[in-house]
Structure 1
């Protein structure tokens, strides 16, 4: 098996012209596409419909090129979009494909492995609760098996898109006699992210199972996974999971590495993950090195204590600009400055995803 990653730009959230060109040229076989992770220029909130717009356009294009039903594609190819391209961030998307005819040599080096999975639909009353944690953990295990990864240490990044509760979903649950954790869509998105982070930690062994409970959510910030990136939205009804790691049996020249980011100023974490892949930033990658980078994935969170290295920040108290938009812009600028490229997936809402007040960074590059 060989994994390929293409980082493509878009003129608007429904622009798939660069992917269509790769299909036309034969560079990418549409039948081999297994997942997409991208950034759209929406607000990143509950009513960010740029994510659904992209998914509609993508599934329509893939259906046209493969002859499969669009609904079948939506249910089998994870398409995880994060809204918000503040500052120097560039709207873009990563297309992951797998060529099953290109096996790696026996005993060869571990190379990029990609696995995907979908959980069953999550009932509204389960969102953000222990059942949700367990559903994510099961789906992560399934995606690892799909990637041919048996050792959790070989997993470097797990992207989950989880559903949240809307007013309509809350009413549907109430009609069945069930109660949701919260009917506030924004809070529901946050609880879904934490349930996803706990599910990844459970599947990978990043924390003891006995600590990954509802009682620890938003309370015990010593519990986290620095390999979990969780998004939530109204456009999905189940947990969509993408596992990225390095495994034997895969061919090609791509590998992935990750590092935790201890806070919003942790430029050392960025430099370290690049060094893990043989890329030297001094202080910025030279163009030849930057050309080897295929994807950059970052998760971040405004420090809830209101301080960054002892100095006060105002991200949580700004009435005009949401705190998540602040942190995406700040981290986007920091990482882009080192990489020399604004095509970076930066997602806010990093509760229990990396160290408290920090986050994580993963990079895919040619070795």
Structure 2
């Protein structure tokens, strides 16, 4: 019976994979069991954030030795999802997700994981319906791999998606194709948005008839409450990781999610914790906080410039990007609830939750 394992380890810099490889060296996990690694790296989270690529290179190089294969082959078999930006008090870290055969247990649900990759996209497909459709199909494949037959059992879908650069735009133009935008930063949002709508389509959260190129990035009423999409320069395909609770899986871990209505929606985080059996009304005490293996959340400034009727300046600051402000805000709220700062808070929530809000999920140890 399969078991999903999740390990959280710190990173001293983007290329510091010593703690990840320490898990392998200690026997806590075999390199062949690793199916995905999430990372929060200390870059700016924007187009020129190469901390993500540095972390991927370090992981591929180290795991290639452990697996006896090439670095490229590591990238082909393991989803490496790096999210740049650890503003505020967020702590850089890695989440190592693995699958192994565990003991059979009485019928029940436990944390399940499935992964899938799309084909590599052409530049003109990024931020458009081609990306939506490919993502939806890949989510379906990942769900099937995890044995998640009911979309209601899916609690979080993480996607790493590509972005446009000047070189990629020029390459498309040389082939006679236009792209969704010539603004490379805006391309991150369109790619995240298309990926999120693909998730929403796969999970039945939106109807296909409402989707079109023109809806991506504009129809804020269309969103997934379980999507988390991060764009990066280091890839040209979408890498999809589906997490849920499924029959036929074993282990002590479970996942739950809620949707934050805005960046200070502490009650949504508390409801997730309640769903997982945490009884504390305030900040979790250290023993309970350690039961929380991972908190995963999306952060996005509201477009109307307001939080509960009060003005914010996240969208107006020319020095610090708005998504960086949002990560710091949501990271602080989440850390206050959990009592820990190594939390996977990702900025840029286009079509990922309501405007100004976003999904939040917690993976926790719920049984011995």
So what's the TM-score if we normalise by structure 1?
0.97
1:319 Cα deviation after fit = 1.7
Aligned residues: 365
Q: Which residue of 2 aligns with 1:323?
A: 322
1:280 Cα deviation after fit = 2.6
Unaligned ranges ≥5, structure 2: none
Q: Which residue of 1 aligns with 2:287?
A: 288
CA contact (8 A) 1:115 1:144 kept: yes
Unaligned ranges ≥5, structure 1: none
1:1-367 correspondence to structure 2 within 5 Å: 1-99=2-100, 101-102=101-102, 104-105=104-105, 108-367=107-366
1:187 Cα deviation after fit = 1.0
1:256 Cα deviation after fit = 0.3
Cα separation, 2, equivalents of 1:319 and 1:124: 28
So what's the TM-score if we normalise by structure 2?
0.97
CA contact (8 A) 2:136 2:198 kept: yes
Cα deviation 1:25-76 (Å, max 9, x = unaligned): 1111111000011100000000100001100111111111111221111122
Cα separation, 2, equivalents of 1:159 and 1:217: 18
CA contact (8 A) 1:274 1:363 kept: yes
In structure 2, the residue corresponding to 1:75 is in which secondary structure?
helix
In structure 1, the residue corresponding to 2:94 is in which secondary structure?
strand
CA contact (8 A) 1:271 1:280 kept: no
Aligned-residue CA RMSD (Å) = 1.1
1:92 Cα deviation after fit = 0.5
CA contact (8 A) 1:104 1:248 kept: no
CA contact (8 A) 1:202 1:208 kept: yes
Cα separation, 1, equivalents of 2:183 and 2:104: 48
1:218 Cα deviation after fit = 2.7
1:216 Cα deviation after fit = 2.0
Stretch of structure 1 that moved more, 11-20 or 217-226:
217-226
In structure 1, the residue corresponding to 2:77 is in which secondary structure?
coil
CA contact (8 A) 1:324 1:348 kept: yes
Question: Cα–Cα, structure 1 residues 157 and 292, in superposed 2: closer, same or farther, change >3 Å?
Answer: same
1:103 Cα deviation after fit = 5.4
In structure 2, the residue corresponding to 1:172 is in which secondary structure?
helix
CA contact (8 A) 1:281 1:338 kept: no
1:213 Cα deviation after fit = 2.1
Cα separation, 2, equivalents of 1:182 and 1:135: 20
